[in-house]
Amino acid sequence: MTRMPSRIAVIAIDAVNPRLVAEFWCNVLGWHVVDDDDEGVISIAPPDGAWPTIDVLGVAGRKAVKNRLHLDLRADGVATPDELERLLSLGARRVDIGQGPDVSWVVLGDPEGNEFCLLSRSVQKV
Q: Which residues bind a second copy (CB under 8 A)?
A: 1-14, 28-30, 41, 52, 55, 59, 63-65, 67-78, 83, 87, 114, 117-119, 125
Question: What's the CA gap between 106 and 124, in Å, rounded?
Answer: 12
Give the single-character DSSP code of 54.
Answer: E
Given the complex with a second copy, which of 49 and 65 has the nearer CB atom?
A: 65
Q: How far is the CB of 5 from a second copy (least distance, A)?
A: 4
Given the complex with a second copy, which of 1 and 49 has the nearer CB atom?
A: 1
Q: How far is the CB of 9 from a second copy (least distance, A)?
A: 4
3 state DSSP class of 80: helix
Closest CA to 26 of 48, 54, 51: 54
- Torsions phi, psi of 98, nearest 5? 80, 25
Q: How far is the CB of 98 from a second copy (least distance, A)?
A: 11
